[in-house]
Structure 1
Amino acid sequence: MSTTTYPGGVGLTGENKADPVRSRRRFRRMIIVGGALLLIALVVGFIPQWRQRQTATADTNQLAIPTVGIVTPALIMPNSGLNLPAEVKPWQEASIFARANGFLKSWLVDIGAHVEKDQLLAEIDTPDLAQQLAQARSQAALAQKGLEQATSTNAKWQELFHQGVVSELDSENMATSQATNQANTEAFAANLRFLEQEFAFQRVTAPFAGTITARNVNVGDLITANNTSMEMFHIQQRDPLRVYFRVPQPEAPNIAVGQTFNVQIGAESAKTYPGKVASTSEAVSPDSRTMLVELQVDNSKNEILPGSYATVRLPTSVLGKLLILPDNTLIFRGKDLQVGVVDAKGVVQLHDVKVGRDFGIQSEILSGVTESDRVIVNPSDSLTTGTVVHVAATPAASASATPAKK
């Protein structure tokens, strides 16, 4: 038996042996390529979703932090004066009461009467006092006669004592009797003077020149002495007048005696009167944080009525700078007023503030903030210290100087 060997037979046998190896390599290559394609597909699909989730989370966190508008307090110099309420008082006034008991005999003046000092206003009939006065005069006269007799008798007894006719004891008794009569006479004289002064009060007179503003008695009324609940007349001196007003604490150091301010009488009157600072209280009231000022106003033409409402206008020369904030920055919680201040890190700090004058939509801030603070506009009721906020890109308008025109 013979075997035929073809040229190249050995090469055919090697290729047949390499086919499984190539197949495995091709399979591996397909698996790797497929896995790579699958991985790429997964990455391409996952990354956008992951980014979307991250964006949504960031947006949620961003929305969780509130965005607020801010305003800075405005420190301004008023462009015009400041009107302050004032009270017009007479230069002096007095309530006139009775100093004698009796009945009203007559009244001679009524309300609106202009009287002079010591002018007779009314007369009181005092029958009881008249009887007491007559008795006192009789007692004083009797005491005087007794003193004269005691003096004469004592002089005689002293002469007899020196002559040795009477004893020393008798002479001393007569001297004592004279001294006793002397004391009684002085006592009765003092009582007489007192009753005479009381009797003089039956004439009710004006303590100073002025105008009668009240009459509360009529003829026949029972008059009780020293009864402060029964005012007979009220009198006022109207020229000059005193005008009282209160100056806020920041302007108090700028008020001095001798300055002149315009006084407007009534709310609708356009006429003003010059008033000169007569005195100040030189102290700030702890209740209102204001200082009381007294002006002296001439009223020689009797154009101003005491008790009238008035306003005093302070010029800009005596006004200090004002720190103002809009009213929509104030937080009302109980008795305290607060504002929310944002620091450099965006954290809110609640500051207690003291408010001065109210200008309508703005208020003067006396303490609690400075002009460099960033104050939140329209704060929420839930705002607390430590809250993190975002400041709006366009800040709220700063406090304007409109109150300066008031």
Structure 2
Amino acid sequence: MQTKTSRMGHKPLALGLIVLAAALVAAGVLSRRSVAEQVKEASTPVVPAVSILPAGQMAGAPIDLSARIEPWARAPIYARVSGYLKSWNVDIGAPVKSGQTLADIETPDLDQQLLQAKAELATARSNLTLAASTAKRWQGLLTADAVSHQEADEKAGDLAAKQSAVNAMQANVDRVQALQRYTRLVAPFDGVVTARNTDVGALINVGGTPGSELFVVSDISRLRVYVNVPQRQVAAIKVGDKAELTVPERPGKTFTATVQSLSQAINASSGAMLIQLTVQNDSRELLPGGYASIHFDAPQSTASLSIPPSALIFNKAGTQVATLGKDNHVVVKQITVGRDLGNVVEVASGLDKGDQVIANPPDGVATGDVVRVAAATANAKAKP
């Protein structure tokens, strides 16, 4: 009875040992399979995933610059004669016509100079008349051999000297009379009086230094706009181009300006070229001397292509980009960079329109390498 019971107790133990052995065998098999798969994966080359995009046509980058506004014509009116301001007829902001009187200057000293010049001219004419009659009489005496040739020549020379003196006195009278015409200050062209720096009774001195002008007349029906364009952007601007002009005192309103001329020289200190634009100001909304902003819509480039900066490869061979060729094989191309515009780079040469550029080239990529196009890029490319 005890022997039968002992045999029945050993059966579960044997069964457990069998199960344990089977588990160990299975674990060993699975471990060997996992190691084999890892070895296989390690020996298989990894194909990098890349994103691609076509080399697009270079879009013209807009140019925004600050500018200053100047009148089409500006004439500071200075005194040409000394005296006292007798009266003025126009004030600042007043429109004037060409030739209109702005002010009158009283010139007592100049008046006396004119009287003196006329008196000297009268004296010189009297001396000329006497010298002419004397020379005529001596010429008659010379014919009768009553005087010598020397004496007759002296009288003729005196007549010529008196004639020269008359001419000089006449010129002096004309000069003073010409100065008297400057006692009346007039507008040189149609415009607006933008400054008046004198008043009745003020002492007027002859001057031409900045700040001593009596009036300033400006033509503001049309304005000049001056802007300094950096050297790398001057090629995008030419005579006749249109630009949008805005001023802070007219928010939300734009004016059309036209490029009239380029200075054709780069300023060495600023590295920019001075460009002149014109803008009509019939409504008088723009103010000369003010600050403005200029916006140029640069034309689209037909020869250059653009790529993102991340697509550039820099190495000892120079600047390159990786493109996607046939059967997902990489083709590395040498390029020449035109301009770096920040978010895009202009490619001057080396790429063809429609090339599939790898936007994120792997390190050490070379021609012939195989890559895999990322699913997100493929889906984006498939969308219209």
TM-score computed with the length of structure 2 as normaliser:
0.62
2:162 maps to 1:181: yes
Q: Distance in 1 between matches of 2:348 and 2:360?
A: 20
Contact 1:243 1:296 in 2 (8 A): yes
Q: Indicate how the Cα distance of structure 1 residues 393 and 183 shifts in structure 2: closer, same or farther if over 3 A, else same.
A: same
Contact 1:215 1:232 in 2 (8 A): yes
Residues 361-376 of structure 1 correspond to what in structure 2 (within 5 A)?
362-363=343-344, 365=346, 367=348, 370=351, 371-372=353-354
- Give the counterpart letter for 2:339 in structure 1: K
| Partner residue of 1:249 out of 228, 235, 243 | 235
Contact 2:84 2:105 in 1 (8 A): yes
Q: Deviations over 1:169-196 (max 9, x none)?
A: 2111111111111111112222222232
Q: Shift in Å at residue 213 of structure 1?
A: 1.1
Q: Shift in Å at residue 210 of structure 1?
A: 0.8
- Which residue is 2:338 aligned to? 353
Q: Indicate how the Cα distance of structure 1 residues 320 and 145 shifts in structure 2: closer, same or farther if over 3 A, else same.
A: farther
Q: Distance in 2 between matches of 1:348 and 1:319?
A: 24
Q: Shift in Å at residue 57 of structure 1?
A: 7.5
- Give the counterpart letter for 1:154 in structure 2: A
2:195 maps to 1:209: no
Q: Shift in Å at residue 212 of structure 1?
A: 0.8
Q: Deviations over 1:317-345 (max 9, x none)?
A: x76558544576689xxxxxx97522565
Q: Shift in Å at residue 236 of structure 1?
A: 1.4
Q: Indicate how the Cα distance of structure 1 residues 69 and 115 shifts in structure 2: closer, same or farther if over 3 A, else same.
A: same
Q: Indicate how the Cα distance of structure 1 residues 274 and 172 shifts in structure 2: closer, same or farther if over 3 A, else same.
A: same
Residues 288-327 of structure 1 correspond to what in structure 2 (within 5 A)?
294-295=277-278, 297=280, 299=282, 301-307=283-289, 309=292, 321=302, 323-326=305-308
Q: Which runs of 5+ in 1 are unaligned?
A: 1-44, 332-337, 399-406
Contact 1:97 1:228 in 2 (8 A): no
Percentage of identical aligned residues: 28
2:219 maps to 1:237: yes
SS across alignment from 1:154: helix
- Which residue is 1:226 aligned to? 208
| Partner residue of 1:394 out of 363, 371, 374 | 374
- Which residue is 2:150 aligned to? 169
Q: Distance in 2 between matches of 1:189 and 1:102?
A: 24
2:322 maps to 1:342: yes
2:121 maps to 1:140: yes
Contact 1:347 1:389 in 2 (8 A): no
Q: Indicate how the Cα distance of structure 1 residues 369 and 101 shifts in structure 2: closer, same or farther if over 3 A, else same.
A: farther
Number of residue equivalences = 328
Q: Shift in Å at residue 116 of structure 1?
A: 1.7
Contact 1:118 1:208 in 2 (8 A): yes
Q: Distance in 1 between matches of 2:366 and 2:128?
A: 98
2:92 maps to 1:100: no
2:56 maps to 1:74: yes
Contact 1:69 1:391 in 2 (8 A): no
Pick the structure with greater CA Rg: 1
- Give the counterpart letter for 2:215 in structure 1: F
- Give the counterpart letter for 2:119 in structure 1: S
SS across alignment from 1:226: coil
Q: Shift in Å at residue 373 of structure 1?
A: 5.7
Q: Distance in 2 between matches of 1:160 and 1:384?
A: 119
Q: Distance in 2 between matches of 1:326 and 1:97?
A: 60
Contact 1:117 1:206 in 2 (8 A): yes
Q: Indicate how the Cα distance of structure 1 residues 165 and 116 shifts in structure 2: closer, same or farther if over 3 A, else same.
A: same
Q: Distance in 2 between matches of 1:388 and 1:102?
A: 92
TM-score computed with the length of structure 1 as normaliser:
0.59
Q: Indicate how the Cα distance of structure 1 residues 379 and 77 shifts in structure 2: closer, same or farther if over 3 A, else same.
A: closer
Contact 1:140 1:188 in 2 (8 A): yes
Q: Distance in 2 between matches of 1:101 and 1:389?
A: 89
- Give the counterpart letter for 1:232 in structure 2: L
- Which residue is 1:154 aligned to? 135
SS across alignment from 1:224: coil
Q: Report the aligned-residue RMSD.
A: 5.2
- Which residue is 2:382 aligned to? none
Q: Indicate how the Cα distance of structure 1 residues 53 and 89 shifts in structure 2: closer, same or farther if over 3 A, else same.
A: same
Q: Distance in 1 between matches of 2:186 and 2:49?
A: 77
Q: Indicate how the Cα distance of structure 1 residues 134 and 374 shifts in structure 2: closer, same or farther if over 3 A, else same.
A: farther
Q: Distance in 2 between matches of 1:220 and 1:384?
A: 84
Q: Distance in 2 between matches of 1:280 and 1:132?
A: 49
Q: Distance in 2 between matches of 1:290 and 1:70?
A: 39
Q: Distance in 2 between matches of 1:130 and 1:150?
A: 30
Q: Shift in Å at residue 214 of structure 1?
A: 1.8
SS across alignment from 1:117: coil
Q: Which runs of 5+ in 2 are unaligned?
A: 1-30, 379-384
